[in-house]
């Protein structure tokens, strides 16, 4: 029952994004037979070090979506404090609903069933521009962001942007 409702909601969100694309990303299904796995292309935001990059990611939705959040993973190499070295995106709205047992996030910052694919991806674009280096998924990138911003961090991001353009 929950999977049927999730499928209907995901189908509707996909149709809305197809009819009214949102600047900064495009989204579609990895396989037309599976509404629970999406492929996303995130364009590096203008006026950021990621500008000009085209970064592929997957959004994997649970069967009980929207009660539980999807997981997002960059398939393209992506150097960022809030993206683990294996590509997992770590932002508040993708964390399980409720109170944070570590006290870093308020419940209202975490997953809420009102979020859509569009709000998730807009949050990811915002995260790209404004990393949270206090709660990093990639400690090395966070350290570079804080201590070597104009040198090593920029160089590593530029390398990811160049690699992302090789597949176009």
Mean pLDDT value of segment 74-96: 96
pLDDT value at 68 more than 80: yes
Per the model's pLDDT, the better-predicted residue between 108 and 111 turns out to be 111
Report domain extents, the chain: 2-166
Which superfamily is assigned to 2-166 in CATH? Ubiquitin Conjugating Enzyme (3.10.110.10)
Catalytic option among 40, 43, 72, 90: 90
Q: Is 90 annotated as catalytic? A: yes
Element (H, E) at 129: helix 117-129
Band of the pLDDT at 61, cuts 50, 70, 90? very high
In this prediction the pTM is 0.93
Exposed / middle / buried, residue 21 (Cβ in 10 Å: 0-12, 13-18, 19+): exposed
pLDDT of residue 101: 78
Helix (H) or strand (E) holding 155, with range, is: helix 154-165
């Amino acid at each position: 029952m929950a999977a049927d409702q999730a499928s209907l909601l995901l189908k509707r969100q996909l149709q809305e994004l197809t009819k009214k694309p949102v600047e900064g990303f495009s989204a579609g299904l990895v396989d037309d037979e599976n509404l629970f796995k999406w492929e996303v292309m995130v364009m590096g935001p203008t006026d950021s070090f990621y500008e000009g990059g085209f970064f592929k990611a997957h959004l994997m939705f649970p069967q009980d979506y929207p009660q539980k959040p999807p997981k997002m993973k960059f398939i393209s190499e992506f150097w960022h404090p809030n993206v683990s070295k294996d590509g997992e995106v770590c932002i508040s709205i993708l964390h399980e609903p409720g109170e944070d047992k570590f006290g870093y996030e308020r419940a209202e910052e975490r997953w809420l069933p009102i979020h859509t694919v569009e709000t998730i991806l807009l949050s990811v674009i915002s995260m790209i521009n404004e990393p949270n280096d206090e709660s990093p998924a990639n400690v090395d990138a966070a350290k570079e962001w804080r201590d070597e911003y104009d040198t090593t961090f920029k160089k590593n991001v530029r390398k990811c942007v160049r690699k992302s353009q090789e597949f176009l």
